[in-house]
Structure 1
Amino acid sequence: MSYDDKYLAFEEMYEANSSTDPSYVVSEIVKLCSKQALNQFGARLIPVFYYTIFLLSYLGNGLVLFIIYKFEKLSTLTNIFLLNLVLSNLLFATSLPFWATYHLSEWIFGVALCKMVSSAYFIGFYSSILFLTLMTFDRYLAVVHAVAAAKSRKKAYAITASVAVWCISIVASVKLVFQDVGKSLFNGLTCDESGYSESTMERWRLVTYYQQFLLFFLLPLTMVMYCYISITIPILSTRLKEKCRAIKVVFVIIFTFFACCTPYNIVILLRALQVTSKEEDLCSDLESLDYALYVTRNIAYLYCCISPVFYTFVGKKFQSHFRRLMAKKIPCLKRHMSTSSQSTRSSSQRTHSAYEY
């Protein structure tokens, strides 16, 4: 039960106890956990953090999107998945300025934007995780099952898989039906789950917590570990180590993602266990978990602006495209590019498409 609900319950009990009927008097202690300090902490930290992530995400993802448009074609599966990953990151980042303003004061954007911004927030976040997992699985097929995958890894396969990811993300965001603008006694207008009984909301929170942990963390983690173990073993036994740059790039990206998201998902699991236990926790314990959620959630969101950096500055193809892009602005780079391209031309021509990135 939220702080506002407990306050209302206390107020109703107080009015009942003020009546002339002494049978309404109860000895039960009503625990009120104020979250004013937590809200002040969020109002100071979150807006700056969200605006920073928004700017970095649009700069990083926008750069990758421009490179794809300028130098690449959507004929390869990797670029199709990469394009969808960038779009999901941009969709998620679009919601952050609204949440930043919300934490500064209250929800001032109305009911329609409450639902639209929440949709961008959840669908973008969920699809980003799934596209990262899908890209890893595609690398696994291209390397471990290269012969069999050559027949199935077509453009239609990439489009179908991408549509499936977006559909799963939309279905997983079904709790958006509860999202509405409400009135809080202490925080003004809110954009949150409301309009249903507390028991119904508690069940849906549990569904959301376990869905986040199992479907969008534990399952992707298991798939990624299996794929990379399966990829690494045959490669280490061959002489293809110079062709593994693509695998190393994706591995770094996935590792960074889980390093950012593991603390957040552990806190989510703890909150689910807390709701399931039905035990009255101390206010200090509840507040500590809320603080941990604030911090770890923001670390998880950082990945939206970190992943494009790896694609642009670690991926070999994107390094080349980025240098070509900068050479138009800085003429002195052209001479360096011509000499470096000649020295690496022979090795790049021998690179198999399954390893190219």
Structure 2
Amino acid sequence: MEFSTSDYDYSQTTDYTDEGLCNLDPNPMEVTIQTYIHSIICAFGLIGNALVIVTYIFYKRTKTMTDVYLFNVAVADLIFVVALPFIIYNEQHSWLMGPAACKMLRSAYSINLYSGMLLLACISGDRYVAIVQARRSFGTRSHALMYSRLICSAVWVFAVALTLPTLLYTERFEEQNLGVDTVTVMCQLSFSKNETAKLMKVVVPSLQMAIGFLLPLLVMVFCYASIVCTLLRAQSSQRHKAVRVILAVVVVFIVCHLPYNVTLLNHTLSLFKQRSCEAEKMKLQVLAISKSIAYLHCCLNPILYAFIGVKFRSHFRQIMLDLWCFSKKYIYTARSSRATSDICISGRVSSDGCNNMSSFTA
């Protein structure tokens, strides 16, 4: 018997295979391991992206196109890591929140996926223009901030538009559990017509793979390959470090997102075919593992794109210095407090004095 087409979510409790009813609930050990992994992702993602946002708002300011893109990438990742704990908790304890929260939280990942990946493609494009097309782009980059803000606004609007199917069709509903007289409240994509379900089961993952992975990957590979060729021809002592950073950016992107997209493609192609219960359980396990690996990218983005830069690290050190100063301010006497404040202010000035370094540090 064919799988039911009433739900899109890949973590259904029960469904049909050629063997009849199949319980697709993950075992408790898998749930526990995933909880720990996602907790680590949330903690590091929250700290890293929050520090990037704080640095850009209070210390570094946004002076280049890359700065604007990095700030928006951090915002996108922060939205996701804030929503992730609520999604995980509600999935493991039945859905306790209302229909509005159900739609918003389910849409958070989709918005992060599209906006984050497209912004990373924009960063690679900006670096391509700044390095490979440096002479041609010298005049046009005088309005860089205005252009970058317009591009970021367009990316966010496009991401929200691509998320509309998830927002419209995600519903909070109840499902009767097999063999027991209990009801599980779920938050999943749900459709009233089979035709709509079949269409969305193909369209939604296809958009995720095409726009959320393949398009950014192609842009990044082309731009960074051109940058590497340009750097290798240049007589610079920093070129080998720059090439290593670029390779790290591309490799991490592929390692994080390729397994999930390949698994998602395989699962989508088999949605309307008969498959055994054990094979389906295995696919869902692989899908869950690869999705967790994809989530890791939101923790690595601050390291790859922000903290690796010399200028950004100097601002980050200034944050740590100011935090230390302000903590001492409330510990020592009034005289020590005034002296500490002077140190903080002088540190801020010295930080602002080194703003002439390039934001492209790869």
In the alignment, the residues of structure 1 paired with residue 28 and residue 5 of structure 2 have an alpha-carbon distance, to the nearest angstrom, of 15
Q: Secondary structure at the match of 1:149?
A: coil
Q: 1:252-267 counterparts in 2 under 5 A?
A: 252-267=248-263
Aligned equivalent of 2:188? 192
Aligned equivalent of 2:288? 294
In the alignment, the residues of structure 2 paired with residue 49 and residue 214 of structure 1 have an alpha-carbon distance, to the nearest angstrom, of 27
Q: 1:265-304 counterparts in 2 under 5 A?
A: 265-275=261-271, 278-304=272-298
- The structure in which a higher percent of residues are helix is 1
Residue 57, structure 1, aligned to residue 45, structure 2: yes
In the alignment, the residues of structure 2 paired with residue 99 and residue 42 of structure 1 have an alpha-carbon distance, to the nearest angstrom, of 16
Contact 1:136 1:250 in 2 (8 A): no
Q: Secondary structure at the match of 2:317?
A: helix
Residue 160, structure 1, aligned to residue 154, structure 2: no
Q: Secondary structure at the match of 2:286?
A: helix
Contact 1:312 1:322 in 2 (8 A): no
Aligned equivalent of 1:16? none
Q: Secondary structure at the match of 1:32?
A: strand
**Larger Rg over CA atoms:** 1
In the alignment, the residues of structure 1 paired with residue 188 and residue 217 of structure 2 have an alpha-carbon distance, to the nearest angstrom, of 29
Change (3 A) 1:150 1:189: same
Q: Secondary structure at the match of 2:94?
A: coil
Contact 2:125 2:219 in 1 (8 A): yes
Aligned equivalent of 1:214? 210
Higher relative contact order (CA 8 A, sep 6+): 2
Q: Structure 1 residue aligned with 2:169, among 173, 178, 196?
A: 178
Structure 2 gap segments, 5+ residues each:
178-182, 326-342
Aligned equivalent of 1:134? 122
Contact 1:249 1:311 in 2 (8 A): no
Change (3 A) 1:293 1:354: same
In the alignment, the residues of structure 1 paired with residue 221 and residue 21 of structure 2 have an alpha-carbon distance, to the nearest angstrom, of 44
Change (3 A) 1:172 1:184: same
Identity of paired residues, percent? Answer: 27
Change (3 A) 1:155 1:111: same
Q: CA deviation at 1:327?
A: 3.6
In the alignment, the residues of structure 2 paired with residue 190 and residue 41 of structure 1 have an alpha-carbon distance, to the nearest angstrom, of 21
Aligned equivalent of 2:339? none
Q: Secondary structure at the match of 1:183?
A: strand
User: Residue type matched to 2:150 in 1?
Assistant: T
Q: Deviations over 1:172-226 (max 9, x none)?
A: 1121211010111226011101142234212201111211222211121111111
Contact 2:72 2:119 in 1 (8 A): yes
Q: CA deviation at 1:4?
A: 9.3
Q: Structure 2 residue aligned with 1:143, among 118, 131, 151?
A: 131
Q: Deviations over 1:22-77 (max 9, x none)?
A: xxxxxx976222113x2645532333333322221111111111221232122321
Q: CA deviation at 1:158?
A: 0.2
Q: State the aligned residue count.
A: 324
Q: 1:3-22 counterparts in 2 under 5 A?
A: none
